[in-house]
């Protein structure tokens, strides 16, 4: 909340579905395991809220596990869990010598990114053991010109993984912008600007 307030957003933490539905933007944070976050979302109708908002073109920002649950499925500790399925794909354990991936890393944003405008060479703070390591919708191959594929930002830890996605009203980051200093604040400011 403080990170968003720092960049000029009027923020309200609420479990009220009406408030969440009427907000200019909705943030889906995530701490913990994929399955637990999905259980928590379903318990309060958050899965339906995200679906409704996106169907109506209303902005949603997922952060960390809040990004991971946007994928179809997550696999942690041998447990498979169904996600929100906004994107196809599976979130699973990073294949790296050191896990969790904890610390500052650079990212590779695509041309045209709104979130990373002017931040292309900055570093962001990651804390995670799981990630989407592929993104099936990231190609224009065979796609009609009128349908723009999501903009996918990549990072590396033992191999490439999805660091962020910009997909119409849905944006998400695997890293924590709220812990990423000035670069993270600027990224949040870019997202808040899209709400106006």
Instruction: List, by residue number, the catalytic residues.
Output: 64, 176, 178
Is the Cβ–Cβ distance between 164 and 150 less than 8 Å?
Answer: no
Is the Cβ–Cβ distance between 150 and 167 less than 8 Å?
Answer: yes
On the 0-12 / 13-18 / 19+ scale of CB atoms within 10 A, 111 is exposed
DSSP H or E segment with residue 183: helix 181-194
Token pair 């060479």 in the structure block, residue: 121
DSSP 8-class letter at 174: S
Joined together, the tokens standing for residue 184 give 């993270």
Kindly report the number of other CB atoms within 10 A of residue 11's CB atom. 15
Joined together, the tokens standing for residue 113 give 């990114």
DSSP H or E segment with residue 81: strand 79-82
Query: What does the alpha-carbon distance between residue 114 and residue 109 come to, in Å, rounded to a whole number?
Result: 10
Is the Cβ–Cβ distance between 83 and 68 less than 8 Å?
Answer: yes
């Amino acid at each position: 909340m403080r990170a968003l307030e720092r960049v000029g957003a009027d923020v309200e933490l609420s479990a009220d579905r009406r408030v969440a539905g009427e907000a200019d933007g909705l943030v889906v944070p995530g701490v913990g395991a994929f399955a637990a976050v999905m259980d928590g979302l379903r318990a309060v109708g958050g899965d339906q809220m995200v679906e409704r908002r996106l169907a109506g073109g209303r902005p949603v920002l997922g952060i960390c596990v809040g990004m991971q649950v946007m994928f179809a499925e997550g696999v942690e500790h041998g447990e498979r869990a169904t996600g929100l399925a906004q994107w196809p794909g599976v979130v699973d354990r990073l294949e790296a010598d050191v896990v969790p991936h904890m610390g500052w890393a650079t990212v590779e944003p695509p041309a045209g990114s709104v979130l990373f405008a002017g931040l292309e060479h900055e570093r962001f703070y990651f804390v995670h053991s799981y990630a989407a390591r592929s993104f099936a919708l990231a190609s224009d191959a065979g796609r009609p010109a009128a349908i723009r594929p999501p903009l996918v930002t990549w990072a590396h830890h033992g191999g490439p993984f999805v660091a962020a996605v910009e997909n119409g009203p849905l944006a998400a980051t695997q890293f924590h912008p709220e812990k990423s200093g000035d670069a993270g604040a600027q990224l949040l400011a870019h997202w808040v600007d899209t709400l106006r």
